[in-house]
Structure 1
């Protein structure tokens, strides 16, 4: 479809008119989008509120724990229907509920389409700074309500006139003024949130991030930089300073060359054809070798050079793709409830991730679930086992959701409200040798 303004006259006056019209139309579309996002957030909040009032839809009991499980099950149901993560739904739910409860002016502007949910989320995040502690006095609670009222009033004005960066700067200044806690206490609270995050990127690479105090982060980078400068003086060194810093960071954290070097088990499948690619090419069968890729189980393919290096570095390996695994005890009958280590490792190779449709949590960290529950006579046989992440394992046993295995070993979920999950188009991590 051609743009509606392709036949516009090139004269400046006519062009300016049509450009202005196009921009006006863009602003209208933006208002519609803001209104839609706010309405969508409200619908998610409504659905979860209904589940809280009617927990029997999702769970069997009605005690306090059952109410919380019903809420989690409703969030899971929403995530399946919208094809998004539970964490995303939980974030949208929190933002909507907090905005409706404490930011009535800003929330109404979002419902009208004049404020984006992004700005609403930033403002909701700022409310945490002015909240009273649990067990606060009535005077402290009144200060909290007044601070939230001032934030709502100011944010609803700034959102209509300030770009996002200026909005965030003004909001931060206001919250600093209203925050009843000193800078030292705020820092102490943030220190308690320190953590490490790994974020996968493309082409077999990942970002490794640590949330730590600024002084420690600066000191760590200075040490990396100082060591990198020293190494760059070597005549045979050809790496950039950034590359050396990254290599040093990885080596130091993994303890390379030390008695405490990391010994974490990483599952990698490497086809023999890949290791003998040159011979395959000589036999005019290179296409077959190229079709088989090495894979970091649960994460995806890795390049041939990395695969060969892993193979050469490995002190021991199992030929799990070409030769059948003869050492795995596949049938335990009713002799044991727990899967053996060999069964667990084979399930990791088979699935890579949690078996449930759309779940990308690693099978290496999953629980081993019986298709037929052990308490109902289930057997600990390899064909009766499947990896479910802890969250899905809880949903399977404590809610009315049905987890049904397919012939390809994937698991479909049927929620208590009748939604059927669909299988993503992905290949299994490894073909079973049996």
Structure 2
């Protein structure tokens, strides 16, 4: 009897055989990835068709008393909310997808065709759209023809550089004119990162941003030469932080009073890093954590969980922080504190603490930056009390009053939104960190609490209650409706380590 070992039973595969198997796997993955582009092309076509049908049936989306000059804007806003809630995507993302769909179907059909064939990716298509913007019809066609050839043989980053150079040769406006126009959109944005960190980005003329970076980096290198043990990266960040905090103004006039009369009027008052720059921040601290008897995480409004030591330090040392004491078992709010008592600001603060974010499905703009809306309108008998008030960001406040989106409060305090097409969405109050379609909600089981979303919004001062209804004579009500572009994390898919 001959005994065969394992090697005899299963002889090793040849090198060519192993290469062949791996090559097949790579090919299959590549084919599946190409299918993503095909689907994205199909979705773009469907979205463009949807916009056309919605505009043709505008009466389904627009409230009867809405100014007719705003009709198409309201239709698009209401439709964006409908899609965002149904797809569980942010409204800025839906807005971007709709814009891409319209551009591909009406201005760049060859790009849409290439995407539908899977020979370019959605990233290539987005770059091509961005670079084709502003070109004349004739130049755009010429640009698309050459750019598609480049896209089919380049990675998205490579193609972006090539497309930029190609656009420069065709653009009707000079680079100076385009630079001046782009500078009008300068801004600072912030979004959250893991481990209690955050990103701060400045979009400004490159000579400004490069100068700031060079100054910080040069200072960091000088400090290293003096024996500072921090890394260059840490020093660069700290130099920038110190410069920003030391340079920010806290008021106009003398003494930080904001009085612009008399001697010294118009002179900015500066505050040091530990000085008068004191933004209002809500820190919810479990009682036992505050006392040092527990390590249960606290919560920083606009971010999420923070470590107990940081929470104790903020609660003890920062008088401009609102300290919220919670029950160690139920988490119910026990106290908002009385050091900042004012009416109606105190009621507003209670709403901010309770709801945390805008009360529209999927919107995560901080309640601190929202208007306060009467769910049942004042003129219809609604009262100005805690149960009938709901924070709505400006764009969704406008949407409520100008479109056929409807909102009501259930007996248990639940907020129910009904879309123009009849879809219902349930907002859970007291946490208000998510929503779910009512047809998917099981009344027999209480829903699990959602994770707190990122709330990377810019600071907007809003000390009192806004009017319950948008003022049709105030253009700002309708012009400032960018669907919460400042939700920073809400609509922007930033990487963990952005490349500025």
2:233 equivalent among 203, 228, 242: 242
Q: Which has the bigger relative contact order, CA under 8 A and spacing at least 6?
A: 2
Question: Structure 1's 126 and 230: CA in aligned 2 closer, same or farther, altered over 3 A?
Answer: closer
Q: Residue deviations 1:66-119, cap 9 Å, x none? A: 221011100110111111011111111111211222212221122233222221
How many residues align? The count is 390
**Helix, strand or coil: the match of 2:173?**
coil
Question: Structure 1's 249 and 326: CA in aligned 2 closer, same or farther, altered over 3 A?
Answer: closer
Question: Structure 1's 416 and 259: CA in aligned 2 closer, same or farther, altered over 3 A?
Answer: same
**Helix, strand or coil: the match of 1:290?**
coil
Kept after mapping to 2: 8 A contact 1:38/1:111? yes
The residue aligned with 2:496 is none
User: For residues 336 and 162 of structure 2, what CA distance do their matches in structure 1 show?
Assistant: 63
Q: Residue deviations 1:341-368, cap 9 Å, x none? A: 1111111111221133322110110111
Q: Residue deviations 1:179-208, cap 9 Å, x none? A: 122222222122212110102111221101
**Helix, strand or coil: the match of 2:416?**
strand
Give the superposition deviation at 1:326. 8.7
Q: Does 1:77 align with 2:67?
A: no
1:35 equivalent among 33, 38, 44: 38
User: For residues 258 and 344 of structure 1, what CA distance do their matches in structure 2 show?
Assistant: 29
1:426 equivalent among 440, 450, 454: 450
2:191 equivalent among 189, 199, 224: 199
**Helix, strand or coil: the match of 1:421?**
strand
Kept after mapping to 2: 8 A contact 1:353/1:360? yes
1:297 equivalent among 297, 301, 310: 301
Kept after mapping to 2: 8 A contact 1:347/1:386? yes
Q: Does 1:50 align with 2:53?
A: yes
Give the superposition deviation at 1:407. 6.5
Give the superposition deviation at 1:319. 5.6
**Helix, strand or coil: the match of 2:325?**
coil
Kept after mapping to 2: 8 A contact 1:31/1:113? yes
Give the superposition deviation at 1:376. 1.0
User: For residues 388 and 298 of structure 1, what CA distance do their matches in structure 2 show?
Assistant: 16
1:61-100 equivalence runs, <5 A = 61=64, 63-100=68-105
**Helix, strand or coil: the match of 1:60?**
coil
The residue aligned with 1:267 is 282
Question: Structure 1's 210 and 39: CA in aligned 2 closer, same or farther, altered over 3 A?
Answer: same
Q: Does 1:10 align with 2:1?
A: no
User: For residues 122 and 76 of structure 1, what CA distance do their matches in structure 2 show?
Assistant: 26
1:159-170 equivalence runs, <5 A = 159-170=151-162
Kept after mapping to 2: 8 A contact 1:59/1:398? yes
Question: Structure 1's 426 and 19: CA in aligned 2 closer, same or farther, altered over 3 A?
Answer: closer
Q: Does 1:173 align with 2:165?
A: yes
User: For residues 85 and 70 of structure 1, what CA distance do their matches in structure 2 show?
Assistant: 17
The residue aligned with 2:202 is 210
User: For residues 428 and 114 of structure 1, what CA distance do their matches in structure 2 show?
Assistant: 39
Give the superposition deviation at 1:241. 3.1
Q: Residue deviations 1:257-310, cap 9 Å, x none? A: 279842321222223311222xx2xxxxxxxx334x321123211111221221
Kept after mapping to 1: 8 A contact 2:143/2:170? no
Higher helix fraction: Structure 1 or Structure 2?
Answer: 1
Q: Over the residues paired in the alignment, what is the CA RMSD in angstroms?
A: 2.9
Q: Residue deviations 1:113-156, cap 9 Å, x none? A: 322222111111111242xxxxxxxxxxxxx1210110121123
Unaligned stretches of 5+ residues in structure 1: 1-6, 131-143, 281-288, 331-338, 430-434
Higher strand fraction: Structure 1 or Structure 2?
Answer: 2
Kept after mapping to 1: 8 A contact 2:408/2:415? yes
Question: Structure 1's 316 and 365: CA in aligned 2 closer, same or farther, altered over 3 A?
Answer: closer
Kept after mapping to 1: 8 A contact 2:80/2:95? yes
User: For residues 8 and 42 of structure 1, what CA distance do their matches in structure 2 show?
Assistant: 53
**Helix, strand or coil: the match of 2:93?**
helix
Kept after mapping to 2: 8 A contact 1:224/1:245? yes
User: For residues 227 and 196 of structure 1, what CA distance do their matches in structure 2 show?
Assistant: 23
TM normalised by structure 1 equals: 0.81
Give the superposition deviation at 1:427. 7.2
1:314 equivalent among 306, 318, 323: 318
Which 10-residue stretch deviates more, 19-28 or 91-100?
Answer: 19-28
Q: Does 1:387 align with 2:391?
A: yes
Kept after mapping to 1: 8 A contact 2:415/2:426? no
Question: Structure 1's 160 and 218: CA in aligned 2 closer, same or farther, altered over 3 A?
Answer: closer
The residue aligned with 1:283 is none
The residue aligned with 1:257 is 272
Which 10-residue stretch deviates more, 388-397 or 78-87?
Answer: 388-397
Q: Does 1:125 align with 2:117?
A: no
User: For residues 416 and 85 of structure 2, what CA distance do their matches in structure 1 show?
Assistant: 11
User: For residues 109 and 428 of structure 1, what CA distance do their matches in structure 2 show?
Assistant: 40
